[in-house]
Amino acid sequence: MPEIPVGAQIFDVVFHPTVSTVYAGLLTGHVKAFAYDEQGNHKALFSVRPSKSSCRGLSLDEDGKHLYAVGKAKALYTVDTATEAVDARAGAHDSTINRVKYLMPWLLATGDDDGVVKLWDTRQRDATRTYTQHFDYITDFLWLDNKKQVVATSGDGTLSVMDVRSQKPEPVAQSEDQEDELLSIVSIKGASKIVVGTQLGILSIFNRSSGWGDCVDRIPGHPLSVDALCSLPSELPNVDTSSTILTGSSDGMVRAVQILPTKLLGVVVDHGEWPIERISIGGGCGQLTIESKDKDPNTVTSAGNDGNDKESLQRRWWVSSVGHDEVLRLTDLEGFFRDNENDENTRGALGVDVRGEDSDVEEGADPGGGGEVSQEVRGSGDRGPPSADREKEGEDSGEESEEPPQPKKRKRQSEREPPAIPTKKKKAKKVVVVERSFFDGL
């Protein structure tokens, strides 16, 4: 597994849509770019520091020419990925900006720790619209291109849907209080269903045809909060990408999970004790930014090739996962699914192993069916925005950050025991031991 040391705690990570480059936003305020090749080799491309406060969120436009960064400085920064020039919109929000999302050409969305969502036309200096329906920090965004709607999840337990074509500064829909922090969001089944990760480790399923008022299904199984969700690229071979997602949990594991039917396909990467904060998938195709003498000339060309060479390149998909450590980890996604093809049938819903003799699953039962989950679900107290437990740097200072603060473990509520789920156990066969001499007199 390739690991890229970055020198500070990572808050967000994004891949360039065409070039083999990955960008990381750091606690120290730096935005660093690294090139990688199909073997996982890497090298640093550039490092800019728009602000001395932490960089919490990153987003790239569709062609990768502009990188948008937000953070504790309350400003919106635009970084030119070719020239490294930085343009700043100071005072974009009144509080720390937690998330930024590129929606469509000339349109961005940002969300802050007070629950304020703003839409930005990148050709203008001021926000075009402001939404205030949330009262707690914005955790994630989802863009629905067919309806030109952006969905925001919040720590206040609700999600809201905003139509960017509407001139009204209010959402077209907002869910009921889900009585849990909504931390991440992703679409499946051709965007007909929405998966939301929560603080208690439950995946809530929303059906767009049923409205946004409440979820239609709840999938337990993750032992701790689901902080990150990521969909799979449709080009990934031999995988049902329409119903399979990656989940990042506070237990330090990135899992591949199939939804409806619900089944754990395996653990993609384990960060140990470090919780997973962000997941991103990328696979540079076309211009490769690393040249190596050992590369196969039939599949790899040097930087600067034209569009006719793109089809000749082998595209390798990488999963980038970050936690509280100072390392950017890359995992071969296609290799993971290839290596775990034979393990899928031995696991039940969300990874309950059914191979052992002590299994509670009867013979003939479908281990991959959704709904029956015997794994314990534990709550993990109110976390609050990242600034509450991860950022210890003070106001902007004139000195470089010497060493980033050591991350604290999250505060947890007392574990809640879920109601017991009745299961059937296999009855052991009765065995009678008889001496051989017993049959001699018969």
pLDDT tens, position by position, 191-204: 999 999 999 999 99
- Please classify residue 154 by burial: count the beta carbons closer than 10 Å to its beta carbon, then call 0-12 exposed, 13-18 middle and 19+ buried: buried
Residue 148, pLDDT > 90, answer yes
Quick one: which H or E segment has residue 124? none
Q: What are phi and psi of 40, to 5 degrees?
A: 90, 0
The predicted-structure confidence for 320-352, as pLDDT tens digits, reads as follows 999 888 999 999 998 899 887 765 454 444 544
The predicted-structure confidence for 362-373, as pLDDT tens digits, reads as follows 334 443 333 333
Report the pLDDT value the prediction gives residue 311, as an integer from 0 to 100.
41
Look at 418 and 98; give whichever has higher pLDDT. Answer: 98
Give the distance between the most distant pair of CA atoms in the chain: 104
Question: Could you count the other beta carbons within 10 Å of the beta carbon of residue 261?
Answer: 12
Lowest average pLDDT, out of 43-57, 114-128, 133-147, 402-416, goes to 402-416
Which tokens hold the place of 98? Answer: 């937690």
Q: Please answer whether residues 65 and 102 qualify as being in contact, where contact means their C-beta atoms are separated by less than 8 angstroms.
A: no
Q: Which residues contact 64 (CB under 8 A, 6 or more apart)?
A: 16, 17, 18, 19, 21, 81
DSSP letter string, 151-180: EEEETTS-EEEEETT--SSS-SEEPPP-SS
Burial state string for 266-277 with b = 16 or more CB within 10 A and e = fewer than 16: bebbebeebbbb
CA-based angle 71:76:80, to the nearest 5?
110
322 vs 3: CA distance, rounded Å: 11
Residue 439, pLDDT > 70, answer no
Q: What are phi and psi of 246, to 5 degrees?
A: -105, 135
Share of the chain above pLDDT 70, in %: 70
Report the pLDDT value the prediction gives residue 249, as an integer from 0 to 100.
96
204 vs 226: CA distance, rounded Å: 11
CA-based angle 119:125:130, to the nearest 5?
30
Residue 427, pLDDT > 70, answer no
State the average pLDDT over residues 130-137. 97
The predicted-structure confidence for 243-268, as pLDDT tens digits, reads as follows 999 999 999 999 999 998 899 999 99
Q: What is the pTM of this model?
A: 0.76
Question: Could you count the other beta carbons within 10 Å of the beta carbon of residue 369?
Answer: 12
pLDDT interval class at 390 (50, 70, 90): low
Identify the CATH assignment for 3-351 out of 3.40.190.10, 2.60.40.10, 3.40.630.10, 2.130.10.10: 2.130.10.10
Please report how many Cα atoms fall inside a 13 Å half-sphere around the Cα of residue 345, on the Cβ side.
3
Question: Could you count the other beta carbons within 10 Å of the beta carbon of residue 293?
Answer: 4
Report the pLDDT value the prediction gives residue 211, as an integer from 0 to 100.
93
CA 103 from chain center: how many Å?
18
Q: What are phi and psi of 216, to 5 degrees?
A: -100, -10
The predicted-structure confidence for 56-98, as pLDDT tens digits, reads as follows 999 999 999 999 999 999 999 999 999 999 999 999 999 999 9
155 vs 179: CA distance, rounded Å: 10
Q: Please answer whether residues 195 and 222 qualify as being in contact, where contact means their C-beta atoms are separated by less than 8 angstroms.
A: no
